[in-house]
Amino acid sequence: DAGVIQSPRHEVTEMGQEVTLRCKPISGHNSLFWYRQTMMRGLELLIYFNNNVPIDDSGMPEDRFSAKMPNASFSTLKIQPSEPRDSAVYFCASSLGQLDQPQHFGDGTRLSIL
């Protein structure tokens, strides 16, 4: 079975540019989660969707961050404009259920903002 697929795996861009991260969840899963992982703060939940609807975006750090889920098989996380402090590994995960169920993670996008 295909797991959660994220693209790109690595992204290097200059400050001020728009960055779009993509995620394809596991087929049949009804919840999708976006996380950010840094050495200092660990893994932080940014936003999650249930049945394509955003449920909780309280973890989104600033208005520069936005996420969409136009259908059950695709989601994007966008940063515009990007800043060096946004450099981190961004993970997408999906699950059958919401926060109370085990999540299946992709292998992440390593983002570097110069």
Partner 1 sequence: EDQVTQSPEALRLQEGESSSLNCSYTVSGLRGLFWYRQDPGKGPEFLFTLYSAGEEKEKERLKATLTKKESFLHITAPKPEDSATYLCAVQTGANNLFFGTGTRLTVIP
Which parts of this chain interact with partner 1 (CB under 8 A)? Answer: 4, 41-45, 56, 58, 91, 93, 98-100, 102-108
User: Cβ 84 to partner 1, closest distance in Å?
Assistant: 22
* CA–CA distance, 104 with 111 (Å, rounded to integer): 21
- The structure tokens 């136009």 sit at 70
User: Cβ 64 to partner 1, closest distance in Å?
Assistant: 22
Amino acid identity for residue 33 in this structure? F
- Residue closer to partner 1, measured from CB, 44 or 83: 44
> CA angle, 15 as apex, 82 and 11 as ends, to 5°?
75
Other CB atoms closer than 10 Å to residue 68's CB: what's the count? 14
- Residue closer to partner 1, measured from CB, 19 or 47: 47
Amino acid identity for residue 100 in this structure? D
- Residue closer to partner 1, measured from CB, 3 or 81: 3
User: Cβ 109 to partner 1, closest distance in Å?
Assistant: 11
